[in-house]
Structure formats: structure tokens, C-alpha cells
Structure 1
């Protein structure tokens, strides 16, 4: 049996039945990391000995939580006490948190085996994981291509069979876009469903933690242990429905709106063909498909790249070389120390977004840029509200292209930003969305995005599970079984 092919649900059942042990399962994934991560570079920090020891101590029986004994990877944007948390930045290269993020603590209490911390774009700013200060991650489907970002390490780890599932964060598509590029499932929950305490902030009104998994059932299982109100995060709340396993997969009568505004231009023909094939399958399964409009979606990208950098410029002001992190040597005065520290510590993309955000918030430009972008955000929320008056779910391609080649877009930030054109509107509205593989386009995975009203994760997961069964895509076997 190839243990690397097991989903979390399957592995949990086998451990509870005594067919495998957490130690055996963890050893298989640690061996896969040792053999292949030198090429993939999904991990920044691997807990080889610690994970093996944790697995040896873990006992799983019928009363154990569903994630007990499951080897899990954690994006390096989440603090874990006593483990490096770098955010893929030189600035935090030696930072060791003294506390653990609430969502990670909940996973620890559920019995996960923490394999280590995954690579990402620096401070979660990017769409390719090429902005990591420690080098890029490579796509397991084609190592000359990017895995997406900013949670590219997490998505690549799952696709390469280096973890059963992984934790990511999504600010403008950073879970769903790499999931699409790597042929796995990525779920962004409703804003507030998962505590942000211990998540190193990029844009606080957008950031949300979620799972990257092999299939939809695993996404539901992981989300069940991630959600919950946290007194340490005032924006968090209890999920009003609770997260359930997506057992009912009947699509009969489900009203599905295709967001034509996200298909208006720039979507590759292969991605469109893959998307259209899924829509035909949904219709044949009884879904009622129509056209949905988000009239202000064309303004989502410019609004996001005003609002998110504005929040980032405020959040990253704390990195001044005084309290923790990198401090430049040899500066003549405190102002020079600030400037030199931030110049040395932050990469090019982070510096670019700080400058964008500072400009948008500056005197004389606040109303013209930040204020107008907030109005656009309100209009997009209203667009979604109207659309959900006619449809139960909205759908689009997750990304306009499949994974592009390493270095292909690094010199053109605007082209890079377009990678998130289908995902950003969801973050502006704070809604739940999931990306599932829709098939292959020119030999590379394409993603199918489903969007639900706020707190309708259970509806979203049921529909995604049904679509997944109709598509029949194998998320992991090409890399795991096709390479030595």
C-alpha cells in the first residue's frame, strides 16, 4: 500500500481500525520529504526528529479526534512556540515565537503531527512563492513552473505527497490559486470563521486561514478543527452551522451562477475548456445553471491593490529593528537605522507594497484612493448580495491560466497581479470559496472555484464534493507514482 496516497479521512479510519500506526504514516511522509524536498523546496523548516517522536507517542482509537495522527504542514506565516516563524523574510530569519497561533493550538489539541513550516511569498505578498527570501518552491507537476502563492509551499507539499494536508492563509487568493496550480483542493472560509491570533498580519481585514487538502472531505474535516470563536481575536466567531462532513452529493435543483464578469477576458483557452466541461457535468447532474453578474468586478483588482497595501504599510510599520527581528549595523542615527534595517530586511515586492500603501494613505491622496477603494469594496459586497438572491452558488475558473514558468512574470508586477483576478473579489466581500481541480489544460492542473454566501460552508462543501466526484481528478498520483 502507498501510504502517500491516503487522504486524512482514509488514514484516520485505518489508524482507528489498527491497520496502520501514526508512526508508520509519519515515517512515510518524512521519507518522501527527505527524497524530494531538495527539488520541490516546499518546506523551510522540517521537524524530522520531533515529528517522529510525536507520532511514536500518539495513540489513535475510536474516541480520537478525526485529525489525530495526521501528518500536517503549516505555512510559515503562523506562529508556533519554539519553532522558527520567518514569513519567508530575512527580517524574521531568526525569529522564534514564544506563543502558538490559536488555530494551530486547536490542531495540536486534535492530535496532528506537525511536519514543519512551509515556504511562501515573503509576508504572504505574492502569487508564485518566488518572493521568498529563501528561494522559490517548485510545482510538483512541472518543476520548471511555479506552485502559485502565497501558500505555494503548502500546496506543493500536499501535491508532492510530502504532507497529508497543509494549513495556508488567503488574503487575495493565496490558498485557492496555489491549490489550482498544484491540482489540489483549497478552501478559504468566511472571514472570521478562523482565528487570526498568531497569524502574522498582511492585510487584517482580508487575511483568513484555511486548509489545502487532497479532496473536499479532507477540507471539511480540517475546517472543523480550525474554526471557532477566540477571545484573542475580536473578529472571530462561532460558525452558526458548525462544519459537517459533505455526505449528500445531490446537485438536483441547485442554482449555479457562472460569473461572466470573471470570464470577460484573459482566461486561457485550455482553462476555459476545462471549466466548460465541469459546467456540462453539473448541468447533467441536475444543477440549474445560469449567468450571474458582478458589475463592479472589473474594479476589484485595483481596489484590492490600494486597500491591502494600505493595511500592510500599517501592519509592517512594527518592523523597525528596535523590538525584534533584523537590525542593521553601522547606522549613524535612529532614522538611518530604520531606513537601513527595512531596506535590508524586506524584499522588493514587500517594499513595493509598503510604498503603494503609504502613498494611498498619505495626506491629499487618502480620499482619492483609499476612500474610493473602500466604496468599490462596498459595491462588490452589494453585487454578491444581489447575485445570491438568484443563485445558491457562484462559479468561475480559479485562475486565468495554469502554472506559469519560474521567472516568467517576476519582472512584470501587473501581469503577476492578474493571477488573482478571479479570487480577489471573494476576499473583498469576505465570503467562503473553494478551489477544486477541474482537470488538465495542456498537461497542467486547472482550478474550478465555487463561492457561497457567508457562513454557508456546508452548502459549499456538499456541492464541491459532488463536483469533485463528477470530475474524478487524481490530485497526487502523477508525482508520487511517476518519479523515483
Structure 2
């Protein structure tokens, strides 16, 4: 029996009917991971023993018919804390760190009897857009191993796209779920800020970070969000709102919904072939009864500049704790306390992390705070107001997820500004704390194109409704890379 290409719902049915055990499903998943790992490099740690132990416990307890996630393997980005399983944030600084607690999102997954199968590769401390800044390895695109997988959650995206796992968790600070989802032709959701607890997420930009799900289909994505979302007293920024079922609107028609297409999202800097794909997607949504009209988000052009001041400033503060004293890497050649700090941080952090720490420290420094950090905060407010004006008249916004398809490995790693500009279309969503999804919407030169749908705060059900309507009437999500048995 092959378990490839089976949805979570289909796997659940097999488990309930005892046609397959959780241990057998876990072993099959581990085999899939090992068979493709050399080609894509999705994982930093494969938690084989822990996963099989957890699977055996679930088999002993039995599968709850009403719990669709029981026994389903889950890959977790390596900046999300997992008790007893190495959690490195892809950095030399945390090369040996085994947490003594689970992140709330992971604890929620365990509570629903999911099986954590391993920790996925990422850009170091989530700083990057290509998963090339990892201390351990470079992950490769599932569709073309000469291309980047996107970042920073590249490993979580390729693990799903290559068929290593059905579901994974990532984190999104400026596009780190949506952009790799687009580059790998899978579904990636960045929920409303505060929807998923940040407790146990190794902090990068505390006002921007959000954990979210990757999946092959829209429904599976909503089902995983159901598991990990919810108020958490351990996270002061956790939203009080409780949503019964994020999949509740899936299957409903979208006739009459008003969708905005910002002219800035299909203008300068966007690959013309990507623009064509998105305009075709807009026409398709119109054919399903939605109303699509052009609007303007005039301050979105400042998003990248604002983001790199705010995110780097927050990173500068958040990364102070990595000092070689309490845990993680410590420089061996230090002879006094000052040297421990200086040498540990110089040797333990990669170039991109050090660049952002310095950027942030400069922005927060006396004499520059008003000119940079304060000004960035003010422009952030203008970006938020732009979205609010559009959402006064429209249900959702659509546009491309990324301005290009996946680029060549090593092609932008020496040009940080070009790498930063690749997040042009995803960053404003984080600055405004909004939910956004990327779904497959076509191909350019054999590489996937992502359609981004953005909604007002706590509109995930509507986003899933429109995404599922698009998915149900197109076949882009059914096309798979060669590594997962496809012809592309």
C-alpha cells in the first residue's frame, strides 16, 4: 500500500479503519524523508526515535474518530521549541541546544496526537529569503535543485512540496511562510498576528513574527491552523478571539465577494509573466462570481525600508540573550568576560545575522532613533491605514506572493539589498498584522507561481473560502515536482 499523495482526511480514514497503524504511517514518512533528503536537504534533525515512541503511544490509546489530526506526522521549523529535540534556529550559536519545554504550537499538536517527525532547515534565526544562511546546509527547491526554496522557512516548504511530509509548521516575519510556499507550489498561511502563540518561538521581530502552517491543499492548511491556533496566557500578544473552525467556509461559493487588486502589486519590479499569471487568476475568480477591482496601497513602496529598520531593531534586542554564558555555543579562546561576549557572538553568528544586529543597533542608537526607528513606526501606521481604507470596501486583496519565481542558488546571497527586495509583496502584511495565504496559481518556465490573498484581521475563514474555491476549479495544486512523482 502506498501512502503517497493521500490527504490528511484519507490518512485519517485508514487509521480509523485500522488499515494502517500510526507506527506504520510514521515509518513510511521516515522512509519518504530519507529517500528525498539528499536531493532537497529539508531537515536539520530527523527525530526518528521520538516520533516512533510517540506513534506507539497513540496506537496504544487508539485513534479518535473526530480528531482528523490524530497520528499525522508533522515537521517543525527549527526555531520552534521542541522538548528534548535539538532546536538550533539553524545557527552555530545554538548547535547543541535541546529545550526543556515545547512551544505552545507544538504542545497543541501533541495534544491532538500529532507526531513530530523532525526539525526543518531555515535561514539562520529566520533572517533571509533563500534558506542559504543556515549554518548546517543549503536547502534546494523541490521543483529544481539548482534554485533556492525561498526562506526563511525553506525546509518546511520543501518537506511538503517534495512529499517528505504532508504538513509542516513555519514562521513568517516578513514573508517567510508565503514566499517559500510560492516558490515550491504549496499552500502557506501567515495567520493574523496573535492567532498562534509565539511562546517557544525563538524571537526575531516580536511585533512581526507569527507561526503558521504549510500543506498540499487549502483544507489541510485550515485543519492544521485549527490545531495550533488559540489564546495562550504565556504570550502577552496572544489574541483573545476563539475561532471554532477555520475550514467552516470551505466549499461555499464566492459570488458577490469584493476583491481588491492593488496596482502597486502588479507594477514596477514584478516579472511580466508573474503579472500575467495573477491577472489570469483574477479573471478566474471573477468567473466564479467575485468582483475584482483595482485599488491603490500608496505607502506599500516604503514597506521594505520600514521592515528592515523595525525587524532589525527588534532582532538587535532579542538576540542579546545569546552571549555564550547560559547555553549554546561559547568561544573556546576567550580569556575574560569581555572576550567571551565578543568572540562568542563574532564566531557564533553568521554574516546576515550580524548585519541585521548592527543595522538594528544603529537604528536604536542615541541620535539616530528619531530619524530611523521612530520614523519607521510612523510610516508603518500609514501602511496600516492604507489597508484599512481598502478593507472598508473590499473583503480581500489579491496579488502575487513574490515578484519572481525561485532564483538560482547563490545568485543573490552576496547582494543583501536584492534579497531584501524579494520580500516586497509580503512585508506589508506583517507590518499591518494581517492574515495572508499563498496558493499555487500557475507556472513560469516550469517553476511555481504563488497567488497571495490578504484579508483584514481575523478573516482567515474568508481567505480559506476563496483559496479553496480557486483550488477546486484549477489543477495547479495537483501538479507535482518530479521528486514527488510528478512530470514537471
TM-score category (smaller protein) = over 0.9
| Larger displacement relative to structure 2 (55-64 or 155-164) | 55-64
Return the offset for 1:267: 1.1
Match of 2:21 in 1: 21
Q: Tell me if the contact between 2:89 and 2:126 (Cα under 8 Å) persists in the aligned partners.
A: yes
1:335 to 331, 335, 338: 338
Match of 1:319 in 2: 322
Q: Tell me if the contact between 2:412 and 2:419 (Cα under 8 Å) persists in the aligned partners.
A: yes
Question: What secondary structure is seen at the aligned counterpart in 2 of 1:420?
Answer: coil
Match of 1:67 in 2: 69
Q: Tell me if the contact between 2:89 and 2:122 (Cα under 8 Å) persists in the aligned partners.
A: yes
1:310 to 301, 309, 313: 313
Match of 2:418 in 1: 415
Q: How does 1:131-280 map to 2 (within 5 A)?
A: 131-245=133-247, 246-280=249-283
Tell me how far apart the structure 1 counterparts of residues 245 and 479 of structure 2 sit (CA, whole Å): 23
Structure 1 residues 283-335: Cα deviation after superposition (integer angstroms, max 9, x where no partner) = 11111010121110001110000000000000001111111111112223322
Return the offset for 1:476: 3.6
Match of 2:88 in 1: 86
Match of 1:77 in 2: 79
Tell me how far apart the structure 1 counterparts of residues 39 and 481 of structure 2 sit (CA, whole Å): 18
Tell me how far apart the structure 2 counterparts of residues 475 and 212 of structure 1 sit (CA, whole Å): 17
Tell me how far apart the structure 2 counterparts of residues 319 and 303 of structure 1 sit (CA, whole Å): 25
Q: Tell me if the contact between 1:141 and 1:478 (Cα under 8 Å) persists in the aligned partners.
A: yes
Q: Tell me if the contact between 2:435 and 2:457 (Cα under 8 Å) persists in the aligned partners.
A: yes
CA spacing shift, 1:143–1:477, aligned 2, 3 Å: closer
Match of 1:426 in 2: 429
Q: Tell me if the contact between 1:227 and 1:238 (Cα under 8 Å) persists in the aligned partners.
A: no
Tell me how far apart the structure 2 counterparts of residues 236 and 362 of structure 1 sit (CA, whole Å): 29
Q: Tell me if the contact between 2:310 and 2:377 (Cα under 8 Å) persists in the aligned partners.
A: yes
Q: How does 1:43-62 map to 2 (within 5 A)?
A: 43-59=43-59, 60-62=62-64
Tell me how far apart the structure 1 counterparts of residues 461 and 215 of structure 2 sit (CA, whole Å): 16
Match of 2:483 in 1: 479
Q: Give the paired residue count.
A: 483
| Larger displacement relative to structure 2 (10-19 or 307-316) | 10-19
Question: What secondary structure is seen at the aligned counterpart in 2 of 1:4?
Answer: coil
Return the offset for 1:10: 2.5
Q: Tell me if the contact between 1:9 and 1:217 (Cα under 8 Å) persists in the aligned partners.
A: no
Tell me how far apart the structure 2 counterparts of residues 62 and 103 of structure 1 sit (CA, whole Å): 20
Q: Tell me if the contact between 1:434 and 1:449 (Cα under 8 Å) persists in the aligned partners.
A: yes
Return the offset for 1:64: 4.7
Tell me how far apart the structure 2 counterparts of residues 132 and 83 of structure 1 sit (CA, whole Å): 18
Return the offset for 1:32: 1.2
List alignment gaps of at least 5 residues for structure 2: none
Match of 2:111 in 1: 109
Tell me how far apart the structure 2 counterparts of residues 89 and 272 of structure 1 sit (CA, whole Å): 36
Tell me how far apart the structure 2 counterparts of residues 135 and 105 of structure 1 sit (CA, whole Å): 28
Tell me how far apart the structure 2 counterparts of residues 285 and 224 of structure 1 sit (CA, whole Å): 27
Tell me how far apart the structure 1 counterparts of residues 98 and 367 of structure 2 sit (CA, whole Å): 40
Match of 1:285 in 2: 288
Question: What secondary structure is seen at the aligned counterpart in 1 of 2:31?
Answer: helix
Return the offset for 1:62: 4.7
TM-score (norm 1): 0.97
Tell me how far apart the structure 1 counterparts of residues 335 and 63 of structure 2 sit (CA, whole Å): 62
1:368 and 2:371 matched = yes
Return the offset for 1:22: 1.9
Tell me how far apart the structure 1 counterparts of residues 424 and 481 of structure 2 sit (CA, whole Å): 29
Return the offset for 1:58: 2.0
Match of 2:4 in 1: 4
Q: Tell me if the contact between 2:36 and 2:483 (Cα under 8 Å) persists in the aligned partners.
A: no
Structure 1 residues 242-269: Cα deviation after superposition (integer angstroms, max 9, x where no partner) = 3332433311111010011122211112
Tell me how far apart the structure 1 counterparts of residues 30 and 135 of structure 2 sit (CA, whole Å): 24
Q: Tell me if the contact between 1:129 and 1:153 (Cα under 8 Å) persists in the aligned partners.
A: yes
Tell me how far apart the structure 2 counterparts of residues 29 and 273 of structure 1 sit (CA, whole Å): 37
Q: Tell me if the contact between 2:64 and 2:70 (Cα under 8 Å) persists in the aligned partners.
A: no
Tell me how far apart the structure 2 counterparts of residues 333 and 71 of structure 1 sit (CA, whole Å): 46
Q: Tell me if the contact between 2:72 and 2:115 (Cα under 8 Å) persists in the aligned partners.
A: yes
Q: Tell me if the contact between 1:17 and 1:61 (Cα under 8 Å) persists in the aligned partners.
A: no
Match of 1:40 in 2: 40
Structure 1 residues 173-204: Cα deviation after superposition (integer angstroms, max 9, x where no partner) = 00000000000000000000110000000000
Match of 1:468 in 2: 471
Tell me how far apart the structure 2 counterparts of residues 438 and 232 of structure 1 sit (CA, whole Å): 38
| Larger displacement relative to structure 2 (33-42 or 215-224) | 33-42
List alignment gaps of at least 5 residues for structure 1: none
Tell me how far apart the structure 2 counterparts of residues 250 and 478 of structure 1 sit (CA, whole Å): 33
Question: What secondary structure is seen at the aligned counterpart in 1 of 2:281?
Answer: helix
TM-score (norm 2): 0.96
Question: What secondary structure is seen at the aligned counterpart in 1 of 2:118?
Answer: strand
